[in-house]
Amino acid sequence: MVESLVERVAADLVRSKYAIALTGAGISTESGIPDFRGPNGIWTKNPEAERAAYQTYDKFLRDPKEYWQAVSGGVSFYHDLRQAEPNPGHCAMAEMEKLGILKCVITQNIDGLHRKAGSRRVLEYHGAVNRLRCPSCSSRFEFEEYEMDGADEPLLPLCKKCQTPIKLDVVHFNEPIPSDVARQSLEETWKCDVMLICGTSAVVYPFAQLPRIARQRKVEQEQKAKSGLYFVKEVAAATIVEVNAEPTPLTQEGISDYIIQGKTGDILPQIVAQVKRFSR
């Protein structure tokens, strides 16, 4: 079953003119980073941690020093993320970009693993843990530009441009998506004719709106009737395919055309191999 679906999606990708991928925490679990809502997810195991995560942005707005105490140093979730390495799923994505098939990856993940794997066109919809961002002038800085580890006085990094207290370039719950990333992600969603959705439960908005926007898009296609006459018919503009360990609302609502159920680290390299066979 999976084999025939791998062939089907490889054919869709080879035929595509503008294929993009959307990814979530599920593509990074095989790098040792737990997801959030899967069977061993962070929120699944500790609902209190999810409730606390909803306070993080307010904490920054209320007291940036307290925010930095919570998110910095070896004990924080963010510190561990920086040590992780890409897995075969990320590498397959980077290879599909090198083959000229994949035009962009829009990821919810903040671990930076798509870039580490070699993907160059990556939109980090929820930001990235190895960067800092100024909420006032939107300037971004690499983590290394600031002395963050081992600082003795409480951390309060200021923007190098406008001296405002800055935060991780991570989009916390209740925090707006940076407008540049939001706009670019919409543009990609409007352009794509294949959308590969990997390792996400697709329940967090506004990211989860992107597949629904792609599903609503229609294009006119000339078709030939049995009589030989040609006519124009409206058809779906994008083929939407999920690669996920379990069905999601996108599956149940018919937003995706089909799901290849399994691990991204297994399935995505099979898709790349099949794309190469079809491209010979």
Minimum CB distance to ligand APR, residue 212 (Å):
15
According to DSSP, residue 157 is labeled: -
Length of the chain: 280
Other beta carbons less than 10 A from residue 156's beta carbon: 13
| Closer residue to ligand APR in complex, CB, 159/272 | 272
Whether residue 126 lies in the annotated active site? yes
141, 179 in Cβ contact below 8 A?
A: no
| Closer residue to ligand APR in complex, CB, 87/159 | 87
217, 236 in Cβ contact below 8 A?
A: yes
Which 3 state secondary structure label does DSSP give 222?
strand
Candidates 38, 64, 127, 157; binder of ligand APR (CB under 6 A) is: 38
Alpha carbon 196 to its chain's center: 11
Q: How far is CA 190 from CA 19, 29, 89, 183, 267, in A?
A: 11, 29, 25, 11, 26
Candidates 10, 21, 29, 241; binder of ligand APR (CB under 6 A) is: 29
Measured distance CA(44)–CA(66) in Å, rounded = 26
Among 79, 90, 114, 126, the active-site one is 126
Minimum CB distance to ligand APR, residue 126 (Å):
5
Pick the stretch among 8-16, 31-39, 63-71, 182-190 that binds ligand APR (CB under 6 A). 31-39
Candidates 6, 19, 26, 167; binder of ligand APR (CB under 6 A) is: 26
Helices (H), 158-246: 179-191, 209-216
Pick the stretch among 98-106, 114-122, 195-203, 221-229 that binds ligand APR (CB under 6 A). 195-203
Enzyme catalytic residues: 126
Binding site for ligand APR (CB under 6 A): 24-26, 29-30, 35-38, 41, 108, 126, 199-201, 204, 244-246, 248, 263-265
